[in-house]
């Protein structure tokens, strides 16, 4: 039985002291809760009697007033935002629907002293991954969370609702997850969620060096006198490192002759038997051991609205001015840079910083600057240190993105393509003859896997939507044939351009997938063509894909025709060599594992990330990952993320929800994580023996890494 035009009005009433900012997005209703961070309440999902999701969302069309959500069975949810209320109105709900749920994610930062309460049951957010991921599961009408400072958010839920709070680190996702399931009943026409916040607490959480006040750990800086004493200690430590003798670029001396490699004056690829070699400008074998974020970036944090949590903040106009992110006033501050200013007595300067870092990382066995580093300073040339770069096609460089598809531009848009060429023409020729430049990454983690969902929902202001309609017209020829395949009643093809399309039939899904293949061919070939027009000497290092995107076989085959190297941001515990080999077979190209790290919350004062139990375990995880991958024969490099730990209060561009992970080789106090680095050096210093088959790859016996 179908309940036609059944109306359920769901009111989310918010009373937030700081004046909550509500906004409908493609993912849900976004709530800005001041220094507590931002939360997105998802649009309702329908559940059957077994609590399985049914009638999945097929299209979300957000607007300034709310959103329209369409479901696969023809049901619809009209979302309206008016002041502090969000009204959800459902129609065409079927009898299969027994309940519906909404969810939100809670930042992992709540693990640093935060607490929760569901009904009368209270608990603390665990600092480390618990043995059981479900923190609480029960019926209740109230739920609240409080951060370490004492600020809080409370939710009053509908009667008969079931709630669950989960620690998603169990599934390698550093976030907490809250859900509320409400029984569906036609006679319950109105339910309410009431959300309130209290943002008045002023507890100090961060010391004068940017470290957590409450946490103690071996590497923690306790005084400025200790910071200054580190200068001499550092000199002794770095002088004690004994890296192997390498050629001037960091390659294996005389390997060009023994392996039959060519000297071209630039980094390039050569295949010898079943092994692919990255070759340096002098013609020697080179394994790219890069470090992402060689210049300060993730160590900047967002300050406004939470100044009270810091024991110390300087003026952006005094001797610490260079510790603030350029162009942002006093909004983004780096305690790491402030510590180096205190330590060395001079302002931050990128050239001086890089000159200080290159001997350090060379001692640890790293040989190049990785991603997310600004245009290379003169220090790279002065010290003959290779680097990678990024094509100038970012959104902030004037290349717009398709809404709803992260980091994907529209290759059908002539203005976008012209801007890409303009940027490349202006920037690439100046570096086209630089022997230190390994190559260019195109972009970081484009969500190409979202295109099948996003493009049909767009309006005609996007060229790719018009191109989709053109492909449908070419495929079906007549609107009658299209209507039959898509089970709709459009009057003509032109009417499909300004409105979202409901992709609900197998034929419709096949049509969209066919178009996505055409989109990807144009997307990848465009970048290759423009790049080669302005730089014929360097490598195109790919698009730094993440696992959910790179799993698409068609994408891999198309991409492989247009890049020199596949770059893969591969976060994992154990290395899935079969999966990596499949990607290599599909693309036919070598691979750089372009982003990964492990963190140790227990002895770093930080929280979250891909956790292990100690700094030494971070190093063992690195050894297992790099050596297992390098032994495959087609992995020609890696990039560790990052040089310096992320800011304790989260990286700057995510405001209050920024990652605050132990990602660095160095702490916020400029102190190396020596136990981790001791293990890393075993791999880095012996990488060429491994590549030549002189020793087997290291395998860590920990069960998580098998």
> Which pLDDT score is estimated for 77?
87
Do the beta carbons of residue 688 and residue 628 sit within 8 Å?
no
Do the beta carbons of residue 35 and residue 656 sit within 8 Å?
yes
Whether 337 maps to a domain, the answer reads no
Lowest mean pLDDT among 207-211, 257-261, 372-376, 530-534: 372-376
Whether 106 maps to a domain, the answer reads yes
Residues 134 and 282 in one domain: no
> Which pLDDT score is estimated for 190?
73
User: In this model, does residue 197 exceed pLDDT 90?
Assistant: no
Paired residues of 644 in beta bridges: 666
Q: What is the DSSP letter of 605?
A: S
User: In this model, does residue 180 exceed pLDDT 50?
Assistant: yes
User: In this model, does residue 9 exceed pLDDT 50?
Assistant: no
Residues 156 and 281 in one domain: no
Whether 479 maps to a domain, the answer reads yes
DSSP H helices in 147-265: 224-239, 255-259
User: In this model, does residue 124 exceed pLDDT 90?
Assistant: yes
Give per-residue pLDDT as tens, 602-635.
Answer: 999 999 888 999 999 999 999 999 999 999 999 9
Give per-residue pLDDT as tens, 86-123.
Answer: 787 888 889 899 998 999 999 999 999 999 999 999 99
Give per-residue pLDDT as tens, 375-400.
Answer: 777 899 999 999 999 999 999 999 99
How many domains would you assign to the chain?
3
The tokens for 156 are 């009053």
Whether 280 maps to a domain, the answer reads yes
The better pLDDT of the pair 352, 159 is held by: 352
Residues 190 and 263 in one domain: no
Residues 188 and 259 in one domain: no
Residues 174 and 32 in one domain: yes
> Which pLDDT score is estimated for 7?
36
User: In this model, does residue 368 exceed pLDDT 90?
Assistant: yes
The tokens for 122 are 């209270």
Residues 192 and 266 in one domain: no
The pLDDT-based confidence of 20 (bands split at 50, 70, 90) is: low
Give per-residue pLDDT as tens, 339-348.
Answer: 999 999 999 9
Residues 36 and 170 in one domain: yes
The Cα–Cα gap between 386 and 388 comes to 7
Which of 152, 167, 198 is the last residue in one of the domains? 198
Whether 497 maps to a domain, the answer reads yes
Paired residues of 441 in beta bridges: 390
Strand, helix or coil at 670? coil
User: In this model, does residue 1 exceed pLDDT 90?
Assistant: no
Whether 17 maps to a domain, the answer reads yes
Residues 172 and 276 in one domain: no
User: In this model, does residue 17 exceed pLDDT 80?
Assistant: no
Which positions ≥6 away from 46 have C-beta within 8 Å?
Answer: 53, 54, 55, 71, 75, 93, 96, 97, 99, 100, 184
Give per-residue pLDDT as tens, 502-532.
Answer: 898 999 999 999 999 999 999 999 999 999 9
> Which pLDDT score is estimated for 31?
86
What average pLDDT does the chain have? 93
> Which pLDDT score is estimated for 18?
42
Which of 511, 529, 547 is the last residue in one of the domains? 511
Give per-residue pLDDT as tens, 25-70.
Answer: 988 989 888 888 999 999 999 999 999 999 988 788 889 989 999 8
Residues 109 and 193 in one domain: yes
Whether 647 maps to a domain, the answer reads no
Which of 469, 490, 511 is the last residue in one of the domains? 511
Give per-residue pLDDT as tens, 573-587.
Answer: 999 999 999 999 999
Whether 35 maps to a domain, the answer reads yes
> Which pLDDT score is estimated for 12?
43
Element (H, E) at 279: strand 275-279
Before 173, cis peptide (omega within 30)?
no
Do the beta carbons of residue 102 and residue 29 sit within 8 Å?
no
The tokens for 390 are 């990024």
User: In this model, does residue 243 exceed pLDDT 80?
Assistant: yes
Strand intervals (E) in 437-513: 437-441
Which residues constitute the domain of residue 55? 2-198
The better pLDDT of the pair 122, 14 is held by: 122
Give per-residue pLDDT as tens, 295-325.
Answer: 999 999 999 999 999 999 999 999 999 999 9
Mean pLDDT of 535-553: 97
Residues 42 and 109 in one domain: yes
Residues 46 and 193 in one domain: yes
User: In this model, does residue 8 exceed pLDDT 50?
Assistant: no
User: In this model, does residue 5 exceed pLDDT 70?
Assistant: no
Give per-residue pLDDT as tens, 485-510.
Answer: 999 999 999 999 998 898 989 999 99
The Cα–Cα gap between 165 and 184 comes to 21
> Which pLDDT score is estimated for 79?
86
Residues 171 and 256 in one domain: no
> Which pLDDT score is estimated for 265?
98
């Amino acid at each position: 039985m179908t309940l036609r035009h059944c109306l359920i009005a769901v009111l989310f009433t918010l009373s937030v002291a700081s004046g909550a900012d509500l906004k409908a997005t493609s993912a849900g209703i976004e709530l800005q809760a001041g220094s507590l961070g931002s939360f997105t309440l998802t649009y309702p999902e329908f559940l059957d009697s077994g609590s399985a999701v049914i009638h999945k969302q097929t299209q979300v069309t957000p607007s300034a007033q709310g959103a329209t959500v369409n479901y696969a069975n023809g049901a619809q949810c009209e979302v309206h935002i008016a002041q502090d209320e969000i009204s959800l109105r459902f129609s065409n709900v079927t009898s299969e629907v027994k309940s519906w749920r909404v969810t939100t994610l809670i930042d992992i930062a709540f693990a640093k002293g935060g607490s929760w309460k569901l009904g009368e049951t209270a608990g603390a957010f665990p600092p480390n991954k618990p043995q059981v991921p479900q923190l609480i599961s029960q019926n209740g009408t109230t739920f609240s969370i409080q951060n370490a400072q004492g600020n809080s958010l409370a939710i009053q839920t509908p009667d008969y609702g079931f709630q669950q709070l989960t620690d998603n680190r169990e599934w390698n996702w550093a976030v907490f997850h809250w859900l509320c399931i409400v029984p569906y009943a036609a006679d319950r026409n109105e339910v309410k969620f009431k959300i309130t916040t209290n943002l008045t607490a002023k507890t100090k959480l961060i010391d004068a060096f940017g470290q957590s006040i409450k946490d103690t750990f071996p590497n923690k800086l306790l005084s400025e006198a200790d910071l200054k004493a580190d200068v001499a200690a550092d000199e002794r430590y770095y002088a004690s490192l004994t890296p192997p003798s390498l050629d001037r670029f960091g390659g294996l001396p005389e390997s060009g002759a023994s392996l039959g490699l060519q000297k071209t004056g630039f980094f390039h690829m050569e295949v010898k038997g079943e092994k692919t070699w990255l070759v340096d400008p002098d013609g020697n074998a080179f394994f790219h051991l890069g470090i992402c974020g060689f210049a300060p970036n993730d160590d900047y944090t967002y300050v406004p609205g939470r100044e009270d949590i810091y024991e110390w903040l300087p003026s952006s106009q005094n001797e610490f001015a260079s510790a603030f992110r350029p162009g942002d006033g006093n909004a983004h501050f780096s305690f790491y840079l402030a510590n180096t200013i205190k330590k060395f007595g001079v302002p931050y300067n990128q050239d001086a910083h890089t000159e200080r870092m290159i001997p350090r990382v060379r001692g640890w066995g790293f040989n190049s600057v990785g991603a997310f580093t600004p245009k290379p300073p003169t220090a790279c040339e002065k010290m003959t240190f290779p680097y990678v770069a990024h094509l100038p096609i970012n959104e902030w460089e004037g290349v717009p993105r398709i809404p709803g598809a992260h980091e994907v531009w529209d290759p059908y848009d002539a203005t976008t393509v012209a801007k890409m060429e303009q940027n490349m023409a202006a920037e690439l020729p100046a570096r086209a003859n630089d022997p230190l430049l390994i190559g260019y990454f195109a972009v970081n983690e484009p969500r190409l896997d979202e295109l099948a969902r996003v493009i049909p929902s767009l309006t005609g202001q996007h060229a790719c939507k018009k191109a989709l309609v053109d492909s449908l017209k070419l495929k079906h020829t007549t609107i009658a044939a299209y209507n039959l395949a898509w089970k709709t009643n459009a009057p003509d093809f032109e009417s499909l351009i300004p409105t979202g399309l409901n992709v609900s039939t197998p034929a419709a899904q096949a049509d969209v997938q066919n178009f996505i293949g055409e989109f990807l061919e144009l997307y990848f070939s465009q970048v290759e063509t423009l790049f080669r027009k302005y730089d014929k000497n360097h490598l195109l290092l790919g698009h730094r894909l993440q696992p959910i995107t790179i799993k698409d076989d068609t994408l891999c085959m198309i991409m492989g025709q247009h890049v020199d190297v596949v770059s893969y941001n591969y976060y994992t515990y154990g290395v899935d060599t079969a999966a990596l080999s499949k990607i290599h077979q599909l693309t036919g190209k070598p691979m750089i594992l372009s982003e990964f790290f492990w963190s140790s919350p227990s002895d770093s004062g930080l929280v979250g990330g891909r956790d292990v139990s100690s700094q030494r375990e971070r190093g063992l995880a690195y050894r297992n990952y790099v050596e297992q991958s390098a032994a495959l024969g087609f992995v020609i490099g890696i990039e560790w993320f990052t040089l310096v730990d992320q800011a304790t209060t989260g990286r700057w561009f995510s405001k209050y929800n920024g990652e605050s992970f132990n990602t660095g080789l160095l702490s916020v106090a400029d102190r190396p994580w020596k136990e981790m680095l001791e293990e890393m050096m075993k791999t880095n210093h012996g990488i060429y023996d491994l590549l030549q088959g002189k020793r087997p790859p290291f395998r860590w016996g920990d069960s998580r890494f098998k």
